[in-house]
Amino acid sequence: MLPAWMIDQVRRKSDEQSERHIGDEDTTFNRDTPRPDNSDISDDDSDVLNCGGNAPSPPPAPDPMAEARAQQQLEDHRNEIAETNRIAEEKRAAEKLVKDTADFQGRVGGAKALAKDYGSSKLRTMGIDDNYGIMSAYENALNKAQGNIPNLDPSPGTYFGSDLWENTVGDIRTQNRNKITRGYESEVPVGFESTYIPDTADDQLIQSIINEQFGEANEYIDRAKARGTLNDVGYGTASRALGQQKAGAFERANQQGLGVLETGRQSLKDIDKQARQGLTNWDFGDQYDPSAWTGKIKSGAAAFTGGLEGKLRNAFGSTEFFDPEALIAKGGKTQGAVNPGATALQDAMSEEERRRTAGSVGAF
Distances in Å between the Cα of 157 and the Cα atoms of 16, 105, 112, 117, 160 are 52, 11, 7, 13, 6
Q: Which amino acid is at 197?
A: I
State pLDDT tens for residues 120-150: 999 999 999 999 999 999 999 999 999 999 9
Other Cβ atoms less than 10 A from the Cβ of 281: the count is 10
Report the C-alpha gap between 22 and 57 in whole angstroms. 37
Confidence of residue 53 (pLDDT cuts 50, 70, 90): low
Report the mean per-residue pLDDT for the chain: 83
State pLDDT tens for residues 257-312: 999 999 999 999 999 999 999 999 999 999 999 999 999 999 999 999 999 999 99
Closest CA to 161 of 140, 133, 139, 142: 142
State pLDDT tens for residues 1-20: 555 555 666 566 656 655 55
Question: Model-level pTM?
Answer: 0.59
Q: How many CA atoms lie within 13 A of 21 on its CB side?
A: 21
Closest CA to 311 of 273, 265, 250: 265
